[in-house]
Chains A and B, each alone.
Chain A
Amino acid sequence: MNNYYLNKEQDSEKTESLKEAFGKMVPILAEEKKGIITSITTVILNSGLTLVGPLLIGYVIDTFIQQGNMKGVLTFSGILLAVYAAAFIANYVQMRVMGAVAQRTLWRLRNDVFSKLMELPLAFFNQNKSGDLISRINNDTDKLNQFFSEGLMRFVGSLFIVLGSGIFILFINWKLALAALIPAAVTFAFTWIVSPTVKKRTRASLKATGTLTADAQESMTNFKVILAFNRRDYFAEKFAEVNEKNYKAAIHAGVGNEIFTPIFEWASNLGLLIVLGYGIFLISNGAIAIGVLVSFVMYVTRFYDPLREMARMWSTFQTALAAWDRVGEILHLKSNLEVIESSEKKEGKGVIAFEKVFFSYPDGDTVLKDANFIFEKGKTYALVGPTGGGKTTTASLIARLYDPTSGTVFLDGKDIRSYAPEVRSQKIGFILQEPFLFSGTVRENIVYGNSFYDGDKMRDLEKDLKDSGLSDLLVRFDEGLETKVGNYSSLSLGQRQLIAFIRAVLRKPEILILDEATANIDTVTEKLLEAVLEKLPKETARVIIAHRLNTIENADGIFFVNSGEVTEAGSMEHAVEMLLHHKRTS
């Protein structure tokens, strides 16, 4: 069985180049080409216009103000006004378009992750906590959204201004420009070196947030025990512990992330310092005019300001990369329950057959050892045995929640792995030991996942319930079909089991497995359930797992499951004998 655990320790200090990092973002945005092109165009336009501003101002100072030409000043003020208006429009379009791109990308990403979750097998959920998954779907994707909606285009725009003003000052005076750019070059090198560490710390911080979410969720689901055992402090204390870890991880990441802005700030000031010193030196030599220095100061500011902005975005980018890693981990997983090529149908395999089936969980416990048996259509089978003996695992293999470690499970004579999931799930009804309800009404829950009652057919529901004898069970609910239920509501376990029972029977499966499905239902109501089971179509096979012997006494075959071995009992007495005198191994 695969290992689906997501929060493995990071393998080694894997660093990635900037190209790789940006490359990772490409597939996410692939479907938004049009929006991104529009955004980039407007961003470049906007940056260009932003550059034109000081250029015009410098020109006005040098030509008109110094010569006292007020008319020229006013004319150019008019031109500048037009430039600013154009920048306003470009800015608006860019924000609107890119914001929409980010929202759609977030939407698509969340859908993709959720859809992947639905594809993955049960083993994945046994190994990962729901809180951590919630954190990945909501929190981590939102970090990507933040980068896309605010960071990316500001980054691109800033980059453009940086390049533009860099080239521009090189043209004005390359010596002065090169000198002014030295601090920037040093800072780039610095960023290059520290980024992998920063990303690693950010990732650790996101992981801590996932743990915090998982922990809080677990405690809140278990609250009644916390109250009954007077451990109100437990939740607060346990939470404070993960909260503290989360806090430390966040600070740790912050110490790294916060270095970028001051470094770039400093570089900016050093750039100005160089320009001033070197510029005055050049003026003294008569190499440049004073106006050149004035506009140079402005352009160097224009060069370094967006660089500072890029530094800020750089931390958002590192966070987005770390978040994308966590989201990507889910997206890259594959279900290990693939559908294989259909094989020849074998005769004499009944409706379900196990052939040399072995099964073990990833932690190494062997649960089934060489299980061989055949279930025939229309018959009732009972699986009995001590708790932890392997009964639920056997049932799970029949429903293909897992695949055997070795050996084959046959459904209707064909390898169960060759059936498409929708066909298989139609044939096999499995009432789980822990009944699960979704928030909603009894009605919504009993037709859950039952495409037969989509749309108009819903009208027949009440009649169908009556015909199959299920409507008598609904008197246990105050408002019948419309009773509100939810996994956290105060329905008793027995009531939840009733809903799970009705839900499974309504699907008319060919094989119905009841895994202690009526354990908490009173024996009088249980008689009603037995009557319902009697009414099932003749061909339906029933597999019953129970401790209460009255529910299995009419079985056509009884199998004793203990320590991973499945043995057929000759008779009811034989089964009881084995049950009462089994050697406890679990």
Chain B
Amino acid sequence: MPSIISVLKPYKAFVAALVILAALVNGLSLIIPKLISIGIDDHGAGTLDLQTLLIQFLVVSFIIFILTYFQGLFQVYTSERVARDMRNTLARKISNLSFQQLEQEKSTKLLTYLTSDIDAIKMFVSMAVVTVVSSSVVVIGAAILLFVINWKLALAVLAILPIIGILFFVVFSRLGPLFKETQEIIDKLNLIISESVLGSALVRVFNSGQHEYKKFSIVNTLSKENGLKILKYFSIIVPSIGIIANLASLVILALGGYFVIGGNMTLGDFTAFQSYVFILIFPIIMLGFVSSMISQAQASYNRISELLNSPEEKEVGTIDTPILGDIEFKNVSLMYGEKPALEDASFSVKAGTKTAILGPTAAGKTQLLYLLIGLIKPTTGEILIDGKPLKDYSKKAIHSQIALVFQDSVMFNLSLMENIAFSRDAKQEDIQKAIETAELADFVDTLPNGLETIASERGTSLSGGQKQRIMLARALALNPQVLLLDDFTARVDSATEKKILANIEKNYPGITIVSVTQKVRSVKHFEKIILLMEGEILAQGTHDELADTSAEYAQILESQKSTHTYE
């Protein structure tokens, strides 16, 4: 795992500026006690020029003020910048993951990466970097001055540094795993909150708020316990550093006192020595605080790096010529672990024809459509478009010519217009045609803001059927060669369904349709019907052929017979 320090690599200039500012501020701060000591000593010797001294003092303190503010601003600026850039890098990475990778990484976990983990890194950049730098400057500067004043005393005082080093080592080795756990607990909290919010209607119907609360509280308690474990270490480390620093000042008192009494040191030097040690103590205590911050940032950075280093889906296909719409599945199998979702499926669809896929729930119908647009890849076998392997086509070529209407409604927090024109390949004239084909025009007219109406997060103000028609319009806006429908008609009433199908035929002549459906009636006239069951193709042919030869098809027909007179 890369060290957290590598986060700073692209920001060398910023870090350099921060270091210079911190060094200046702290260096200048060291002058103040010197000025006071000069004042006292010179006054004793009767050589004091008070006015010059006060002006020097005023100038130095004003410069310190300005530089401190700059340092603060720079700290905010740099850390927020690092956070922003890293969030963008993560977002780009996430958007380049494959569908399968995304299904594995829970979206709530990705959310923790983008928020809480980045925050830990931000804290590191804003607090830890400056503290470490300025503390080092102060420690080194004060150490030099101490040596100049009295090297023996200085050596005695600086003996505390290695002890502090050991303490830090302990912090890092013990706290690291605990901080990793902290982030994993946040993942879990995010999941529970997220599910209880997305499932809020269900929770209310079942009155299961108490149950959800218990689930949340258990994880929340884990979080508390983990926090207390971290606290246990932390509350030892910080006072320890405090007492070590205090011991240093004790050494000065005793040893320094001895030197002053022995006449080896002036009283002014002794006072300055005391002040410098006070200056030394504070940054050392701060180092104690930031040591845990660094350890926390490292834990978060490890998590993020793991994602950033995962393989990306590469664009390998190069064909981007227009397609006709001939589709062929050659012995395609799709495995989910041990179990097959599709087994040795072979069939072909001629351009410009209509094909229906029928079968029971969990037969693998949806997976078949996902394979067709390359969302998932077959484990074995090959899919051909116009006789050429699907994987040889560029993504753009596939996604702009083969459009899928998903089974469940997915709405973005955008206007209806932007939802429909979601693909960049959608052209203005095609959008209007798509809206009319999906029978949305009348509905849009009833909205005060028309197509500019914002679809809210979960599309709560739209009915199931309206959302499904918007999904259809989104697909048709591509003016696709191939239209894949996943149970499109499930949420649309039959009158509207009929109109829509007629519209498609009229407005998109020559389009190839592959439709997953439950209703035999609406696909009876299709050129081909494929019967899929538990991942296997049981039969394929026209309606009449299947009705005569396939017992399973006959059973489906039977189950829908009674309503034919009405529909």
Q: A230-B424, A236-B92, A476-B361 are known contacts. Are A53 and B457 too (CB-CB below 8 A)?
A: no
| Other-chain residue from B58, B75, B108, B249 in contact with A273 (beta carbon distance below 8 A) | B58
Q: Is the CB of A137 within 8 A of B224?
A: no
| Other-chain residue from A66, A121, A263, A492 in contact with B204 (beta carbon distance below 8 A) | A121
Q: A69: nearest residue on chain B (CB-CB)?
A: B261
In the complex, how many angstroms separate the beta carbon of B259 from the nearest chain A beta carbon? 10
Given the complex of chains A and B, what is the CA–CA distance between A450 and B208 in angstroms? Answer: 8
- Residues of chain A within 8 A (CB-CB) of B64 are 262, 265-266, 269
Q: Is the CB of B224 within 8 A of A103?
A: yes
Interface residues of A in 232-256 (CB under 8 A from B): 232-236, 239-240, 243-244, 246-247, 250-251, 254-255
Interface residues of A in 43-81 (CB under 8 A from B): 53, 57, 60-61, 64-66, 68-70, 73-74, 76-77, 80-81
- Residues of chain A within 8 A (CB-CB) of B232 are 96
A216 contacts partner chain B, Cβ-Cβ < 8 Å: yes
Q: A100-B228, A126-B460, A269-B32 are known contacts. Are A227 and B73 too (CB-CB below 8 A)?
A: no
- Residues of chain B within 8 A (CB-CB) of A388 are 443, 462-463, 465-466
B305 contacts partner chain A, Cβ-Cβ < 8 Å: no
In the complex, how many angstroms separate the beta carbon of A377 from the nearest chain B beta carbon? 20
In the complex, how many angstroms separate the beta carbon of A352 from the nearest chain B beta carbon? 15
- Residues of chain B within 8 A (CB-CB) of A273 are 54, 57-58, 61
Given the complex of chains A and B, what is the CA–CA distance between A139 and B120 in angstroms? Answer: 12
Q: A81: nearest residue on chain B (CB-CB)?
A: B250
Q: A230-B425, A265-B64 are known contacts. Are A95 and B95 too (CB-CB below 8 A)?
A: no
Given the complex of chains A and B, what is the CA–CA distance between A216 and B80 in angstroms? Answer: 18
Q: B89: nearest residue on chain A (CB-CB)?
A: A236
B115 contacts partner chain A, Cβ-Cβ < 8 Å: yes
- Residues of chain B within 8 A (CB-CB) of A115 are 209, 213
A10 contacts partner chain B, Cβ-Cβ < 8 Å: no
B413 contacts partner chain A, Cβ-Cβ < 8 Å: yes
As a 0/1 sequence over residues 407 to 430 of chain A, the CB contacts with chain B under 8 angstroms (1 = contact) are 000000000000001101110111
In the complex, how many angstroms separate the beta carbon of A480 from the nearest chain B beta carbon? 13
Q: Is the CB of A258 within 8 A of B361?
A: no
Q: How would you classify the secondary structure of chain A's contact residues: helix, strand, loop or mixed?
A: helix
Q: B61: nearest residue on chain A (CB-CB)?
A: A269
Q: Is the CB of A70 within 8 A of B257?
A: yes
**Interface 9-residue window, one of A168-176, A455-463, A532-540, A576-584:** A576-584
- Residues of chain A within 8 A (CB-CB) of B247 are 81, 84
Residue among B66, B196, B425, B489 with most chain A CB within 10 A: B196
- Residues of chain A within 8 A (CB-CB) of B36 are 272, 276, 297
Q: B458: nearest residue on chain A (CB-CB)?
A: A126
B62 contacts partner chain A, Cβ-Cβ < 8 Å: yes
A138 contacts partner chain B, Cβ-Cβ < 8 Å: yes
**Interface 9-residue window, one of A12-20, A21-29, A127-135, A317-325:** A127-135
As a 0/1 sequence over residues 144 to 155 of chain A, the CB contacts with chain B under 8 angstroms (1 = contact) are 000001100000
Q: A243-B91, A425-B205 are known contacts. Are A106 and B227 too (CB-CB below 8 A)?
A: yes
- Residues of chain A within 8 A (CB-CB) of B253 are 57, 60, 73, 76-77, 80
| Other-chain residue from B205, B361, B365, B566 in contact with A525 (beta carbon distance below 8 A) | B361
**Interface 9-residue window, one of A159-167, A189-197, A368-376, A545-553:** A545-553
B542 contacts partner chain A, Cβ-Cβ < 8 Å: no
Residue among B35, B197, B249, B366 with most chain A CB within 10 A: B197
In the complex, how many angstroms separate the beta carbon of B129 from the nearest chain A beta carbon? 15
| Other-chain residue from B35, B75, B84, B407 in contact with A243 (beta carbon distance below 8 A) | B84
A92 contacts partner chain B, Cβ-Cβ < 8 Å: yes
A30 contacts partner chain B, Cβ-Cβ < 8 Å: no
In the complex, how many angstroms separate the beta carbon of A259 from the nearest chain B beta carbon? 7
As a 0/1 sequence over residues 424 to 462 of chain B, the CB contacts with chain A under 8 angstroms (1 = contact) are 110000000000000000110010000000001110111
Q: A114-B193, A118-B210, A217-B111 are known contacts. Are A265 and B43 too (CB-CB below 8 A)?
A: no
Q: Is the CB of B231 within 8 A of A547?
A: no
Q: Is the CB of B91 within 8 A of A521?
A: no
Q: Is the CB of B213 within 8 A of A114?
A: yes
- Residues of chain A within 8 A (CB-CB) of B95 are 226, 232-236
Q: Is the CB of B200 within 8 A of A125?
A: yes
Q: Is the CB of B88 within 8 A of A586?
A: no
Interface residues of B in 328-386 (CB under 8 A from A): 336, 339, 358-363, 365-367, 373, 375
Given the complex of chains A and B, what is the CA–CA distance between A448 and B203 in angstroms? Answer: 9
B87 contacts partner chain A, Cβ-Cβ < 8 Å: yes
Q: Is the CB of B91 within 8 A of A523?
A: no
Q: A99-B235, A449-B207, A478-B339 are known contacts. Are A215 and B413 too (CB-CB below 8 A)?
A: yes
Q: Is the CB of B400 within 8 A of A230?
A: yes
In the complex, how many angstroms separate the beta carbon of B397 from the nearest chain A beta carbon? 9
| Other-chain residue from B39, B201, B360, B478 in contact with A432 (beta carbon distance below 8 A) | B201
- Residues of chain A within 8 A (CB-CB) of B403 are 228-229
- Residues of chain B within 8 A (CB-CB) of A478 are 339
Q: Is the CB of A579 within 8 A of B213?
A: no
In the complex, how many angstroms separate the beta carbon of B119 from the nearest chain A beta carbon? 8
B246 contacts partner chain A, Cβ-Cβ < 8 Å: yes
Q: Is the CB of A487 within 8 A of B560?
A: no
Q: A134-B194, A138-B190, A272-B32 are known contacts. Are A95 and B91 too (CB-CB below 8 A)?
A: no
Given the complex of chains A and B, what is the CA–CA distance between A256 and B365 in angstroms? Answer: 58
Q: Is the CB of A88 within 8 A of B243?
A: yes
Q: Is the CB of A428 within 8 A of B205?
A: yes
Interface residues of A in 488-513 (CB under 8 A from B): 488-490, 492-495, 497-498, 507
Q: Is the CB of A293 within 8 A of B40?
A: yes
Q: Is the CB of A254 within 8 A of B77?
A: yes
Q: Is the CB of B423 within 8 A of A231?
A: yes
Q: Is the CB of A262 within 8 A of B72?
A: yes
A6 contacts partner chain B, Cβ-Cβ < 8 Å: no
- Residues of chain B within 8 A (CB-CB) of A389 are 463
Q: Is the CB of A524 within 8 A of B69?
A: no
- Residues of chain A within 8 A (CB-CB) of B61 are 266, 269-270, 273
- Residues of chain A within 8 A (CB-CB) of B301 are none
Q: Is the CB of A225 within 8 A of B88?
A: no
B191 contacts partner chain A, Cβ-Cβ < 8 Å: yes
Q: B426: nearest residue on chain A (CB-CB)?
A: A229
- Residues of chain B within 8 A (CB-CB) of A436 are 198-199, 201-202
| Other-chain residue from B48, B205, B212, B249 in contact with A118 (beta carbon distance below 8 A) | B212
Given the complex of chains A and B, what is the CA–CA distance between A233 and B261 in angstroms? Answer: 75
A212 contacts partner chain B, Cβ-Cβ < 8 Å: yes
Q: Is the CB of A266 within 8 A of B62?
A: yes
Interface residues of A in 292-306 (CB under 8 A from B): 293-294, 297-298, 301, 305
Q: Is the CB of A258 within 8 A of B103?
A: no
**Interface 9-residue window, one of B154-162, B173-181, B493-501:** B493-501
Q: Is the CB of B76 within 8 A of A77?
A: no
B492 contacts partner chain A, Cβ-Cβ < 8 Å: yes
A585 contacts partner chain B, Cβ-Cβ < 8 Å: yes
Q: A118-B203, A290-B44, A434-B408 are known contacts. Are A106 and B361 too (CB-CB below 8 A)?
A: no
Given the complex of chains A and B, what is the CA–CA distance between A266 and B95 in angstroms? Answer: 48
Q: A84: nearest residue on chain B (CB-CB)?
A: B246
Given the complex of chains A and B, what is the CA–CA distance between A225 and B365 in angstroms? Answer: 18
Q: Is the CB of A227 within 8 A of B407?
A: no
Q: A258: nearest residue on chain B (CB-CB)?
A: B72
- Residues of chain A within 8 A (CB-CB) of B30 are none
B318 contacts partner chain A, Cβ-Cβ < 8 Å: no
Q: Is the CB of A526 within 8 A of B362?
A: no
Given the complex of chains A and B, what is the CA–CA distance between A490 and B365 in angstroms? Answer: 12
B302 contacts partner chain A, Cβ-Cβ < 8 Å: no
What 4 pairs across the A-B complex have the smallest Cβ distances?
A387-B465, A254-B76, A118-B209, A258-B72
Selected A-B contacts with CB under 8 Å, 25 pairs: A66-B267, A84-B247, A103-B228, A110-B220, A133-B193, A134-B193, A139-B115, A150-B289, A216-B111, A225-B410, A230-B424, A231-B423, A251-B80, A272-B32, A297-B271, A386-B495, A387-B464, A387-B492, A421-B207, A425-B205, A432-B205, A439-B106, A476-B361, A519-B487, A582-B495
- Contacts beyond the supplied A77-B250, A216-B114: 11 A-B pairs with Cβ under 8 Å: A61-B271, A70-B261, A73-B257, A96-B235, A118-B196, A217-B111, A225-B422, A229-B422, A361-B461, A522-B359, A523-B559
